[in-house]
Protein backbone atom coordinates (compact mmCIF):
# COMPACT_ATOMS: atom_id res chain seq x y z
CA UNK A 1 0.00 0.00 0.00
CA UNK A 2 2.89 2.32 0.84
CA UNK A 3 4.40 1.69 -2.56
CA UNK A 4 1.08 2.22 -4.30
CA UNK A 5 0.78 5.59 -2.59
CA UNK A 6 4.31 6.53 -3.67
CA UNK A 7 3.59 5.54 -7.26
CA UNK A 8 0.29 7.44 -7.33
CA UNK A 9 2.03 10.51 -5.97
CA UNK A 10 4.83 10.34 -8.52
CA UNK A 11 2.47 9.75 -11.44
CA UNK A 12 0.24 12.58 -10.29
CA UNK A 13 3.14 15.02 -10.00
CA UNK A 14 4.66 13.88 -13.28
CA UNK A 15 1.35 14.53 -15.08
CA UNK A 16 0.57 17.80 -13.34
CA UNK A 17 4.04 19.28 -13.78
CA UNK A 18 4.13 18.40 -17.45
CA UNK A 19 4.28 21.61 -19.47
CA UNK A 20 1.69 20.52 -22.01
CA UNK A 21 -0.65 19.60 -19.18
CA UNK A 22 -0.27 22.98 -17.51
CA UNK A 23 -0.71 24.84 -20.77
CA UNK A 24 -3.76 22.79 -21.72
CA UNK A 25 -5.29 23.21 -18.28
CA UNK A 26 -5.20 26.97 -18.41
CA UNK A 27 -5.41 27.52 -22.14
CA UNK A 28 -8.45 25.35 -22.84
CA UNK A 29 -10.89 27.48 -20.81
CA UNK A 30 -9.42 30.61 -22.39
CA UNK A 31 -9.92 29.12 -25.84
CA UNK A 32 -13.43 27.93 -24.98
CA UNK A 33 -14.49 31.29 -23.58
CA UNK A 34 -12.80 33.02 -26.49
CA UNK A 35 -14.79 30.88 -28.93
CA UNK A 36 -18.05 31.63 -27.17
CA UNK A 37 -17.26 35.33 -27.20
CA UNK A 38 -16.26 35.21 -30.85
CA UNK A 39 -19.45 33.44 -31.84
CA UNK A 40 -21.55 35.87 -29.81
CA UNK A 41 -19.70 38.78 -31.38
CA UNK A 42 -20.03 37.46 -34.92
CA UNK A 43 -23.71 36.73 -34.44
CA UNK A 44 -24.36 40.25 -33.20
CA UNK A 45 -22.32 41.61 -36.09
CA UNK A 46 -24.44 39.64 -38.49
CA UNK A 47 -27.64 40.90 -36.90
CA UNK A 48 -26.45 44.47 -36.93
CA UNK A 49 -26.18 44.52 -40.68
CA UNK A 50 -29.03 46.67 -41.99
CA UNK A 51 -31.12 45.26 -44.77
CA UNK A 52 -32.80 47.76 -47.08
CA UNK A 53 -35.33 46.18 -49.36
CA UNK A 54 -37.00 47.91 -52.21
CA UNK A 55 -40.60 46.96 -52.85
CA UNK A 56 -42.19 47.30 -56.27
CA UNK A 57 -45.77 46.55 -55.42
CA UNK A 58 -48.09 46.94 -58.41
CA UNK A 59 -51.11 45.74 -56.42
CA UNK A 60 -50.34 48.26 -53.69
CA UNK A 61 -51.62 46.01 -50.97
CA UNK A 62 -48.58 44.25 -49.60
CA UNK A 63 -46.25 47.17 -48.89
CA UNK A 64 -48.39 48.57 -46.10
CA UNK A 65 -48.23 45.27 -44.31
CA UNK A 66 -44.43 45.13 -44.36
CA UNK A 67 -43.36 46.81 -41.16
CA UNK A 68 -39.83 48.08 -40.68
CA UNK A 69 -37.94 46.24 -38.02
CA UNK A 70 -34.71 47.01 -36.20
CA UNK A 71 -32.46 45.89 -39.00
CA UNK A 72 -34.86 45.66 -41.88
CA UNK A 73 -36.20 48.67 -43.76
CA UNK A 74 -38.67 48.51 -46.65
CA UNK A 75 -38.72 51.33 -49.25
CA UNK A 76 -41.55 51.83 -51.66
CA UNK A 77 -40.36 51.75 -55.29
CA UNK A 78 -43.80 51.15 -56.71
CA UNK A 79 -43.85 54.49 -58.57
CA UNK A 80 -40.87 53.59 -60.72
CA UNK A 81 -40.68 51.31 -63.71
CA UNK A 82 -39.62 47.79 -62.70
CA UNK A 83 -36.32 47.98 -64.60
CA UNK A 84 -35.50 51.40 -63.14
CA UNK A 85 -36.35 50.11 -59.69
CA UNK A 86 -34.04 47.13 -60.13
CA UNK A 87 -31.27 49.39 -61.39
CA UNK A 88 -31.51 51.81 -58.52
CA UNK A 89 -31.63 49.04 -55.92
CA UNK A 90 -28.55 47.56 -57.54
CA UNK A 91 -26.72 50.89 -57.68
CA UNK A 92 -27.47 51.79 -54.11
CA UNK A 93 -26.39 48.29 -53.09
CA UNK A 94 -29.61 47.52 -51.25
CA UNK A 95 -30.32 44.01 -50.13
CA UNK A 96 -32.83 43.30 -52.86
CA UNK A 97 -36.07 44.20 -54.59
CA UNK A 98 -39.40 42.52 -53.95
CA UNK A 99 -41.63 42.56 -57.02
CA UNK A 100 -45.32 41.94 -56.70
CA UNK A 101 -46.96 41.98 -60.12
CA UNK A 102 -50.52 42.79 -61.05
CA UNK A 103 -52.81 39.88 -61.72
CA UNK A 104 -56.41 39.03 -62.26
CA UNK A 105 -56.62 36.66 -59.36
CA UNK A 106 -54.69 36.37 -56.14
CA UNK A 107 -53.43 32.97 -57.30
CA UNK A 108 -51.90 34.58 -60.34
CA UNK A 109 -50.29 37.26 -58.21
CA UNK A 110 -49.00 34.75 -55.71
CA UNK A 111 -47.33 32.59 -58.32
CA UNK A 112 -45.51 35.52 -59.97
CA UNK A 113 -43.95 37.27 -57.01
CA UNK A 114 -40.23 37.71 -57.51
CA UNK A 115 -37.26 38.81 -55.45
CA UNK A 116 -34.30 40.40 -57.22
CA UNK A 117 -30.99 40.43 -55.39
CA UNK A 118 -27.24 40.42 -55.97
CA UNK A 119 -26.81 37.42 -53.74
CA UNK A 120 -29.31 34.77 -52.85
CA UNK A 121 -31.13 35.93 -49.70
CA UNK A 122 -31.09 33.72 -46.65
CA UNK A 123 -33.75 31.07 -46.36
CA UNK A 124 -34.76 32.44 -43.02
CA UNK A 125 -35.44 35.87 -44.52
CA UNK A 126 -37.31 34.44 -47.51
CA UNK A 127 -39.64 32.25 -45.53
CA UNK A 128 -40.40 35.18 -43.25
CA UNK A 129 -41.31 37.25 -46.30
CA UNK A 130 -43.40 34.46 -47.83
CA UNK A 131 -45.27 34.07 -44.57
CA UNK A 132 -46.11 37.79 -44.47
CA UNK A 133 -47.29 37.98 -48.08
CA UNK A 134 -49.26 34.81 -47.66
CA UNK A 135 -51.00 36.30 -44.63
CA UNK A 136 -51.98 39.39 -46.62
CA UNK A 137 -53.30 37.37 -49.50
CA UNK A 138 -55.16 34.93 -47.25
CA UNK A 139 -56.84 37.76 -45.37
CA UNK A 140 -57.81 39.41 -48.62
CA UNK A 141 -59.26 36.20 -49.94
CA UNK A 142 -61.20 35.57 -46.75
CA UNK A 143 -62.58 39.10 -46.86
CA UNK A 144 -63.54 38.76 -50.49
CA UNK A 145 -65.59 35.67 -49.65
CA UNK A 146 -67.40 37.74 -47.01
CA UNK A 147 -65.79 36.42 -43.89
CA UNK A 148 -65.31 38.86 -41.09
CA UNK A 149 -61.66 38.79 -40.03
CA UNK A 150 -62.46 39.82 -36.51
CA UNK A 151 -64.67 36.74 -36.15
CA UNK A 152 -61.88 34.53 -37.29
CA UNK A 153 -59.43 36.09 -34.85
CA UNK A 154 -61.87 35.52 -32.05
CA UNK A 155 -62.50 32.00 -33.19
CA UNK A 156 -58.80 31.03 -33.12
CA UNK A 157 -58.14 28.80 -30.20
CA UNK A 158 -54.68 29.09 -28.78
CA UNK A 159 -53.60 25.62 -27.90
CA UNK A 160 -50.69 24.95 -25.67
CA UNK A 161 -50.84 21.49 -24.21
CA UNK A 162 -49.80 21.52 -20.61
CA UNK A 163 -48.16 18.28 -19.67
CA UNK A 164 -48.21 16.61 -16.33
CA UNK A 165 -46.66 13.34 -15.41
CA UNK A 166 -48.69 10.69 -13.60
CA UNK A 167 -47.62 11.85 -10.19
CA UNK A 168 -49.13 15.22 -10.98
CA UNK A 169 -46.02 17.35 -11.42
CA UNK A 170 -46.27 19.76 -14.29
CA UNK A 171 -43.59 19.32 -16.93
CA UNK A 172 -42.88 21.32 -20.02
CA UNK A 173 -42.61 20.07 -23.55
CA UNK A 174 -38.90 20.70 -23.21
CA UNK A 175 -38.58 17.93 -20.64
CA UNK A 176 -37.35 15.28 -22.99
CA UNK A 177 -34.88 17.71 -24.54
CA UNK A 178 -33.59 18.54 -21.10
CA UNK A 179 -33.18 14.85 -20.33
CA UNK A 180 -31.48 14.26 -23.63
CA UNK A 181 -29.15 17.16 -23.01
CA UNK A 182 -28.12 16.05 -19.55
CA UNK A 183 -27.74 12.38 -20.51
CA UNK A 184 -25.90 13.21 -23.71
CA UNK A 185 -23.55 15.64 -22.03
CA UNK A 186 -22.73 13.13 -19.30
CA UNK A 187 -22.10 10.33 -21.81
CA UNK A 188 -20.02 12.49 -24.09
CA UNK A 189 -17.98 13.86 -21.22
CA UNK A 190 -17.27 10.34 -20.05
CA UNK A 191 -16.07 9.29 -23.48
CA UNK A 192 -13.77 12.30 -23.78
CA UNK A 193 -12.36 11.69 -20.34
CA UNK A 194 -11.70 8.03 -21.08
CA UNK A 195 -9.94 8.76 -24.36
CA UNK A 196 -7.83 11.67 -23.07
CA UNK A 197 -6.69 10.15 -19.81
CA UNK A 198 -6.51 6.59 -21.15
CA UNK A 199 -4.02 7.90 -23.68
CA UNK A 200 -2.08 9.58 -20.89
CA UNK A 201 -1.79 6.26 -19.06
CA UNK A 202 -0.62 4.58 -22.24
CA UNK A 203 1.98 7.22 -22.97
CA UNK A 204 3.30 7.02 -19.45
CA UNK A 205 3.74 3.23 -19.78
CA UNK A 206 5.54 3.64 -23.10
CA UNK A 207 7.75 6.33 -21.55
CA UNK A 208 8.91 3.95 -18.83
CA UNK A 209 9.65 1.33 -21.42
CA UNK A 210 11.66 3.62 -23.67
CA UNK A 211 13.48 5.11 -20.67
CA UNK A 212 14.37 1.56 -19.62
CA UNK A 213 13.61 2.39 -16.03
CA UNK A 214 10.86 -0.19 -15.92
CA UNK A 215 13.05 -3.10 -14.82
CA UNK A 216 14.44 -1.11 -11.90
CA UNK A 217 10.95 -0.27 -10.73
CA UNK A 218 9.49 -3.74 -11.01
CA UNK A 219 12.42 -5.13 -9.06
CA UNK A 220 10.93 -3.08 -6.19
CA UNK A 221 7.19 -3.28 -6.77
CA UNK A 222 4.73 -5.67 -8.38
CA UNK A 223 3.84 -4.76 -11.96
CA UNK A 224 0.15 -4.67 -11.07
CA UNK A 225 0.90 -2.12 -8.35
CA UNK A 226 2.73 0.01 -10.88
CA UNK A 227 -0.14 -0.28 -13.34
CA UNK A 228 -2.81 0.58 -10.78
CA UNK A 229 -0.70 3.43 -9.41
CA UNK A 230 -0.38 4.82 -12.90
CA UNK A 231 -4.10 4.58 -13.58
CA UNK A 232 -5.04 6.14 -10.24
CA UNK A 233 -2.41 8.88 -10.37
CA UNK A 234 -3.45 9.86 -13.87
CA UNK A 235 -7.12 9.90 -12.94
CA UNK A 236 -6.42 12.25 -10.02
CA UNK A 237 -4.50 14.50 -12.39
CA UNK A 238 -7.47 14.38 -14.74
CA UNK A 239 -9.88 15.32 -11.97
CA UNK A 240 -7.61 18.21 -11.02
CA UNK A 241 -7.62 19.44 -14.59
CA UNK A 242 -11.36 19.07 -14.78
CA UNK A 243 -12.01 21.03 -11.61
CA UNK A 244 -9.66 23.80 -12.75
CA UNK A 245 -11.44 23.92 -16.10
CA UNK A 246 -14.83 24.34 -14.49
CA UNK A 247 -13.77 26.92 -11.89
CA UNK A 248 -11.41 28.89 -14.11
CA UNK A 249 -13.76 28.64 -17.09
CA UNK A 250 -16.78 29.98 -15.25
CA UNK A 251 -14.81 32.79 -13.61
CA UNK A 252 -13.48 33.71 -17.02
CA UNK A 253 -16.88 33.55 -18.66
CA UNK A 254 -18.48 35.70 -15.97
CA UNK A 255 -15.73 38.30 -15.94
CA UNK A 256 -15.53 38.56 -19.71
CA UNK A 257 -19.29 38.99 -20.11
CA UNK A 258 -19.24 41.53 -17.27
CA UNK A 259 -16.42 43.54 -18.83
CA UNK A 260 -17.47 43.53 -22.46
CA UNK A 261 -21.17 43.36 -21.76
CA UNK A 262 -21.70 41.26 -24.85
CA UNK A 263 -25.40 40.95 -25.49
CA UNK A 264 -25.33 37.22 -25.05
CA UNK A 265 -28.07 37.71 -22.50
CA UNK A 266 -30.06 39.91 -24.80
CA UNK A 267 -29.75 37.36 -27.58
CA UNK A 268 -30.90 34.65 -25.26
CA UNK A 269 -33.60 36.94 -23.95
CA UNK A 270 -34.87 37.63 -27.41
CA UNK A 271 -34.84 33.99 -28.34
CA UNK A 272 -36.62 33.12 -25.14
CA UNK A 273 -39.17 35.86 -25.67
CA UNK A 274 -39.87 34.69 -29.18
CA UNK A 275 -40.21 31.00 -28.66
CA UNK A 276 -41.15 30.31 -25.09
CA UNK A 277 -43.34 32.25 -22.76
CA UNK A 278 -42.26 32.93 -19.17
CA UNK A 279 -44.41 30.10 -17.84
CA UNK A 280 -42.50 27.74 -20.07
CA UNK A 281 -39.17 28.93 -18.72
CA UNK A 282 -40.41 28.39 -15.20
CA UNK A 283 -41.43 24.88 -16.20
CA UNK A 284 -38.03 24.33 -17.82
CA UNK A 285 -36.31 25.20 -14.59
CA UNK A 286 -38.70 22.87 -12.84
CA UNK A 287 -37.78 20.14 -15.32
CA UNK A 288 -34.13 20.50 -14.58
CA UNK A 289 -34.82 20.48 -10.88
CA UNK A 290 -37.08 17.49 -11.19
CA UNK A 291 -34.45 15.44 -13.00
CA UNK A 292 -33.02 12.82 -10.70
CA UNK A 293 -30.00 15.10 -10.42
CA UNK A 294 -28.56 13.36 -7.39
CA UNK A 295 -28.78 9.96 -9.01
CA UNK A 296 -27.38 11.34 -12.27
CA UNK A 297 -24.35 12.66 -10.42
CA UNK A 298 -23.88 9.46 -8.43
CA UNK A 299 -24.36 7.38 -11.58
CA UNK A 300 -21.87 9.55 -13.44
CA UNK A 301 -19.26 9.00 -10.74
CA UNK A 302 -19.84 5.25 -10.46
CA UNK A 303 -19.97 4.65 -14.19
CA UNK A 304 -17.03 6.94 -14.66
CA UNK A 305 -14.93 4.92 -12.21
CA UNK A 306 -15.95 1.66 -13.86
CA UNK A 307 -15.53 2.86 -17.43
CA UNK A 308 -12.28 4.65 -16.77
CA UNK A 309 -10.71 1.66 -15.05
CA UNK A 310 -11.93 -0.69 -17.75
CA UNK A 311 -10.51 1.33 -20.58
CA UNK A 312 -7.36 2.68 -18.98
CA UNK A 313 -6.21 -0.82 -18.04
CA UNK A 314 -6.66 -1.75 -21.70
CA UNK A 315 -4.68 1.34 -22.62
CA UNK A 316 -1.98 0.36 -20.10
CA UNK A 317 -1.76 -3.13 -21.61
CA UNK A 318 -1.43 -1.66 -25.10
CA UNK A 319 1.30 0.68 -23.88
CA UNK A 320 3.15 -2.27 -22.38
CA UNK A 321 2.86 -4.33 -25.54
CA UNK A 322 4.45 -1.81 -27.90
CA UNK A 323 7.78 0.01 -28.09
CA UNK A 324 6.62 3.39 -29.32
CA UNK A 325 3.47 5.37 -29.77
CA UNK A 326 3.44 4.84 -33.52
CA UNK A 327 3.01 1.11 -32.95
CA UNK A 328 -0.21 1.61 -31.03
CA UNK A 329 -2.38 2.22 -34.10
CA UNK A 330 -3.36 -1.37 -34.73
CA UNK A 331 -4.61 -1.74 -31.17
CA UNK A 332 -6.33 1.64 -30.90
CA UNK A 333 -9.19 1.03 -33.29
CA UNK A 334 -10.80 -1.80 -31.30
CA UNK A 335 -10.67 0.44 -28.21
CA UNK A 336 -12.22 3.50 -29.82
CA UNK A 337 -14.89 1.47 -31.65
CA UNK A 338 -17.06 0.54 -28.65
CA UNK A 339 -16.80 4.09 -27.33
CA UNK A 340 -18.05 5.52 -30.63
CA UNK A 341 -20.72 2.83 -30.78
CA UNK A 342 -21.87 3.85 -27.30
CA UNK A 343 -22.18 7.47 -28.35
CA UNK A 344 -24.08 6.63 -31.55
CA UNK A 345 -26.42 4.23 -29.82
CA UNK A 346 -26.94 6.92 -27.20
CA UNK A 347 -27.75 9.71 -29.62
CA UNK A 348 -29.98 7.65 -31.87
CA UNK A 349 -31.55 4.70 -30.06
CA UNK A 350 -31.77 6.17 -26.58
CA UNK A 351 -33.23 9.43 -27.78
CA UNK A 352 -35.82 7.65 -29.87
CA UNK A 353 -36.77 5.11 -27.26
CA UNK A 354 -34.83 5.19 -23.99
CA UNK A 355 -36.17 1.81 -22.93
CA UNK A 356 -36.07 0.08 -26.31
CA UNK A 357 -34.32 -3.22 -26.79
CA UNK A 358 -31.19 -1.76 -28.44
CA UNK A 359 -30.70 0.88 -25.77
CA UNK A 360 -31.28 -1.68 -23.03
CA UNK A 361 -28.83 -4.24 -24.41
CA UNK A 362 -26.10 -1.66 -24.94
CA UNK A 363 -26.58 -0.41 -21.42
CA UNK A 364 -25.65 -3.91 -20.19
CA UNK A 365 -22.57 -4.48 -22.38
CA UNK A 366 -19.69 -3.31 -20.17
CA UNK A 367 -17.72 -1.58 -22.95
CA UNK A 368 -20.68 0.66 -23.84
CA UNK A 369 -22.75 0.61 -20.65
CA UNK A 370 -21.08 3.60 -18.97
CA UNK A 371 -22.06 5.85 -21.87
CA UNK A 372 -25.42 4.37 -22.84
CA UNK A 373 -26.70 3.90 -19.30
CA UNK A 374 -25.72 7.44 -18.38
CA UNK A 375 -27.81 8.68 -21.29
CA UNK A 376 -30.76 6.52 -20.24
CA UNK A 377 -30.76 7.43 -16.56
CA UNK A 378 -32.35 10.91 -16.93
CA UNK A 379 -35.34 9.18 -18.55
CA UNK A 380 -35.73 7.02 -15.48
CA UNK A 381 -34.33 3.50 -15.36
CA UNK A 382 -35.44 0.82 -12.91
CA UNK A 383 -32.94 0.41 -10.08
CA UNK A 384 -32.48 -3.28 -10.75
CA UNK A 385 -31.48 -2.57 -14.34
CA UNK A 386 -28.80 -0.18 -13.12
CA UNK A 387 -27.70 -2.78 -10.61
CA UNK A 388 -27.36 -5.51 -13.24
CA UNK A 389 -25.47 -3.17 -15.55
CA UNK A 390 -23.12 -2.10 -12.76
CA UNK A 391 -22.62 -5.71 -11.70
CA UNK A 392 -21.59 -6.71 -15.22
CA UNK A 393 -19.42 -3.60 -15.54
CA UNK A 394 -17.47 -4.12 -12.36
CA UNK A 395 -17.08 -7.86 -12.89
CA UNK A 396 -15.55 -7.01 -16.28
CA UNK A 397 -13.39 -4.32 -14.71
CA UNK A 398 -11.77 -6.92 -12.48
CA UNK A 399 -11.43 -9.40 -15.32
CA UNK A 400 -9.90 -6.82 -17.65
CA UNK A 401 -7.52 -5.49 -15.00
CA UNK A 402 -6.41 -9.03 -14.33
CA UNK A 403 -5.84 -9.71 -18.03
CA UNK A 404 -4.23 -6.34 -18.65
CA UNK A 405 -1.89 -6.90 -15.70
CA UNK A 406 -0.74 -10.17 -17.27
CA UNK A 407 -0.07 -8.59 -20.64
CA UNK A 408 1.53 -5.65 -18.86
CA UNK A 409 3.81 -7.88 -16.79
CA UNK A 410 5.18 -9.65 -19.85
CA UNK A 411 5.03 -6.72 -22.24
CA UNK A 412 7.04 -4.21 -20.25
CA UNK A 413 10.11 -6.43 -20.52
CA UNK A 414 9.71 -7.17 -24.22
CA UNK A 415 11.60 -5.00 -26.63
CA UNK A 416 12.11 -4.97 -30.33
CA UNK A 417 9.16 -6.49 -32.03
CA UNK A 418 5.60 -5.45 -32.48
CA UNK A 419 3.43 -8.16 -30.97
CA UNK A 420 0.44 -9.66 -32.74
CA UNK A 421 -2.90 -10.37 -31.11
CA UNK A 422 -1.93 -14.02 -31.07
CA UNK A 423 1.16 -13.26 -29.02
CA UNK A 424 -0.80 -11.08 -26.61
CA UNK A 425 -3.11 -14.01 -26.08
CA UNK A 426 -0.11 -16.23 -25.38
CA UNK A 427 1.20 -13.76 -22.79
CA UNK A 428 -2.02 -14.24 -20.83
CA UNK A 429 -0.88 -17.78 -20.12
CA UNK A 430 2.68 -17.03 -19.01
Partner 1 sequence: MKNLLVAQNVSKSYGDYKAINNLSIEVPEQSIFGLLGPNGAGKTTFIRIINQITMPDTGKVLLDGQPLQPSDVQHIGYLPEERGLYKSMKVGEQVLYLAQLKGLSKKEATSRLKYWFDRLEIGDWWNKKIQELSKGMAQKIQFIVTVIHQPKLLIFDEPFSGFDPVNANLIKDQILQLKEDGATILFSTHRMESVEELCDYMALIHKSNKMLDGKVADIKKDFRSNTYQVGISPRQRNEMLENLNHHFEVTPAHYHSIHEDVKLHIKIPENSSANDLLHHLITLGQVNHFVEVVPSVNDIFIKTVGQHA
Scanning 3-11, 336-344, 348-356, 359-367 for contacts with partner 1 by CB under 8 A, the matching segment is: 3-11
Part of the chain binding partner 1 (CB under 8 A), chosen from 113-121, 132-140, 209-217, 278-286 = 209-217
* Nearer to partner 1 among residue 56 and residue 409 (C-beta): 409
CB of 247 to partner 1, least distance (A): 28
Binding residues among 218-257 for partner 1 as defined by CB under 8 A:
218-222
Say how far apart CA 97 and CA 117 lie, in whole Å: 6
What are the residues whose beta carbons fall under 8 Å from the beta carbon of 108, sequence distance 6 or more?
A: none
Q: How many residues bind partner 1 (CB under 8 A)?
A: 22
* Residues forming beta bridges with residue 75, ordered by sequence position: 54
CB of 368 to partner 1, least distance (A): 35
d(CA 318, CA 325): 10
Looking only at residues 7 through 36 of this chain, which bind partner 1 when binding is defined by CB under 8 A?
A: 7, 10, 14
Q: Is residue 213 a contact residue for partner 1 (CB under 8 A)? A: yes
230 vs 376, which CB is nearer to partner 1? 230
Q: 392: Cβ–Cβ under 8 A, 6 or more apart, which residues?
A: 364, 365, 366, 369
H-type helices in 261-292, by residue range? 264-275, 278-290
Regarding 417 and contact with partner 1 (CB under 8 A), the answer is no
With binding defined as CB under 8 A, does residue 6 bind partner 1?
A: yes
Instruction: Please state, in angstroms and rounded to a whole number, the distance separating the CA atoms of residues 307 and 291.
Output: 23
**Nearest distance, CB of residue 407 and partner 1, angstroms:** 15
Q: Which stretch binds partner 1 (CB under 8 A): 96-104, 210-218, 277-285, 354-362?
A: 210-218
Shortest approach of partner 1 to residue 225 CB, angstroms? 10
Restricting to residues 375-414, name those near partner 1 by CB under 8 A. Answer: 413
Residue 49 Cα distances to 95, 341, 421, angstroms: 10, 43, 60
> Counting Cβ atoms within 10 Å, is residue 44 exposed (0-12), middle (13-18) or buried (19+)?
middle
Q: Which long-range contacts (CB under 8 A, 24 or more apart) does 118-127 make?
A: 118/90, 118/93, 121/95, 121/96, 125/51
Residue 354's SS3 state is coil
> Which residue in 102, 196, 216, 301 binds partner 1 (CB under 8 A)?
216
Binding site for partner 1 (CB under 8 A): 3, 6-7, 10, 14, 207-208, 211-213, 215-222, 413, 415, 426, 430
Amino acid sequence: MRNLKLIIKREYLARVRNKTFVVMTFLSPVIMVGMIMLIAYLTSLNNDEEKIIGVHDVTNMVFDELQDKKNTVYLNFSDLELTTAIDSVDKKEYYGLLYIPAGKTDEEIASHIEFFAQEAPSNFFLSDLEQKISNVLTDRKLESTGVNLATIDNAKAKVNIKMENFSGEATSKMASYVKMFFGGAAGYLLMMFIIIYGNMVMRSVIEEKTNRIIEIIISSVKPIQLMLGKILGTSFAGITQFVIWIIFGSILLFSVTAIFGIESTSIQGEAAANSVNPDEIQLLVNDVLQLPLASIIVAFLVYFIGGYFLYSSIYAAIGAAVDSETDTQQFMFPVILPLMLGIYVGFFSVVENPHGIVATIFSYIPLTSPIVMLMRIPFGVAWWEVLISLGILFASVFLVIWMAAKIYRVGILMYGKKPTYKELFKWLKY
